[in-house]
Amino acid sequence: MAGSDNVVVEAEDVPIYVSSLPVPNVQEMVRENPLRVPERYLRTKEEISESEPGYVNPMLPVLDLSLLVDGNAQELDKLDLACKDWGFFQGYGHTNVETKDQKLDWSDTLVLAVYPERFRRPQFWPSTPPHFKKAMETYANEIRTVGDKLIGSLATVMGLNKDAMLKLHGELVQGLRLNYYPSCVKPNDVYGISPHSDATIVSILMQDSDTDGLQIRHEGHWVPIKPIPGALIINLGDVVEFWTNGKYKSIEHRSMTNAKKWRISFATFIYPPDDIEIGPLALVVDPGRPHQKYKKMKYGEYLRFSLKRELEGKEHIKVAQVEVPN
């Protein structure tokens, strides 16, 4: 885990996110004693009571990216529905630790800034295995194309010109988070990742096809997502919820661990530069119901606010909410 005592000399325009308290490496803990789950990882029954998903709906919409890119009307309709109904479809260090008694998640993570290239800090990229850097670069580059296409399709279903969002927000930023979830002898008492929504435009997850873990909150229930081999999982981030004034929602999700199996996922986050204003887009707000649910704020301000908090579902988006008069 990158130590918080590293002194980093930043290039002038490289944004600094937040620093986090150092925490143990979960993989090491499990290696030393697979039967031990320290108190700091254990959640109360009330907190995690919904971990028995009584509601199983494996029918998360599956979309074909090539049809979307061709502008296929039926596939775009499916995207619009997926965004409205689900907000999810397949197609540095631990999460932030602010206080010494904050509960911890049963995972180790590595966060890399990948685009724009000048944001990369190669000194933090692992040097082993030797092909790691090259593989991450190749993956990030391919996923960037997927992200651009998705954002183009999102603009289309939002009623905008295909290039509108890319033009509006100039150079998008891309980060990559590698999540490693060791097996846990008490899988029902810990979180792999606590419930949260992503402070992104879209997030693109590549995961093992044979290990469950991801769950999303749909109609008040935690729904486990069955991996489909070869499919990427796409979820909308908070920025799309703000742009569309809540028509499309960023969805709360979490990861659970398994008793016997470890799991790895690669989460790509695509988000705007710091100085971009986020808030409902005039063209998207329904003229019949012009109430703006979210205020304009700079993305950088929003991101820092959400990163500084413990993960608490969607509590962080309240900072952008406009008070609703009674």
**Nearest alpha-carbon partner for 58 in 194, 216, 179, 195:** 216
CA dist 135 and 222 (Å) reads 33
255 lines the binding site for ligand OGA (CB under 6 A): yes
Residues that bind Ni ion (CB under 5 A): 198
**Nearest alpha-carbon partner for 231 in 215, 259, 208, 247:** 208
Name the residue nearer to Ni ion (CB basis): 189 or 198: 198
317 lines the binding site for ligand OGA (CB under 6 A): no
Name the residue nearer to Ni ion (CB basis): 96 or 156: 96
- Give the three-class secondary structure for 298: strand
112 lines the binding site for ligand OGA (CB under 6 A): no
**Nearest alpha-carbon partner for 71 in 162, 144, 158, 142:** 162
Residues 258-287 that bind ligand OGA (CB under 6 A): 265, 267
193 lines the binding site for ligand OGA (CB under 6 A): yes
Name the residue nearer to ligand OGA (CB basis): 97 or 164: 97
Strands 193-196 and 221-224, bridge-based pairing? unpaired
- Give the three-class secondary structure for 143: helix
Residues 156-185 that bind ligand OGA (CB under 6 A): 177, 179
51 lines the binding site for ligand OGA (CB under 6 A): no
214 binds, among ligand OGA, Ni ion, none (CB under 5 to 8 A by kind): ligand OGA
200 lines the binding site for ligand OGA (CB under 6 A): no
- Torsion angles phi and psi, residue 84, rounded to 5: -75, -45
Instruction: Tell me the closest approach of the beta carbon of residue 117 to Ni ion, in angstroms.
Output: 24
Instruction: Tell me the closest approach of the beta carbon of residue 111 to ligand OGA, in angstroms.
Output: 9
- Asked whether 278 and 272 are in contact (CB, 8 A), the reply is yes
**Nearest alpha-carbon partner for 316 in 217, 250, 232, 260:** 250
198 lines the binding site for ligand OGA (CB under 6 A): yes
213 lines the binding site for ligand OGA (CB under 6 A): yes
Instruction: Tell me the closest approach of the beta carbon of residue 108 to ligand OGA, in angstroms.
Output: 12
CA dist 127 and 145 (Å) reads 26
Name the residue nearer to Ni ion (CB basis): 80 or 198: 198
179 binds, among ligand OGA, Ni ion, none (CB under 5 to 8 A by kind): ligand OGA
The HSE-up count of residue 103 (CA atoms within 13 Å, CB side) is 19
201 binds, among Ni ion, ligand OGA, none (CB under 5 to 8 A by kind): none
265 binds, among Ni ion, ligand OGA, none (CB under 5 to 8 A by kind): ligand OGA
Q: Which of 172, 214, 239, 240 binds ligand OGA (CB under 6 A)?
A: 214
Helices (DSSP H) in 244-294: which residue ranges? none
Which residue's beta carbon is nearest to the bound Ni ion?
198
DSSP states of 52-117: S------------HHHHHTT-HHHHHHHHHHHHHTSEE----SSP--STT----S-EEEEEEEESG
255 binds, among Ni ion, ligand OGA, none (CB under 5 to 8 A by kind): ligand OGA
Angle of the 132-157 helix axis to the 73-85 helix axis, nearest 10: 100
Name the residue nearer to Ni ion (CB basis): 212 or 277: 212
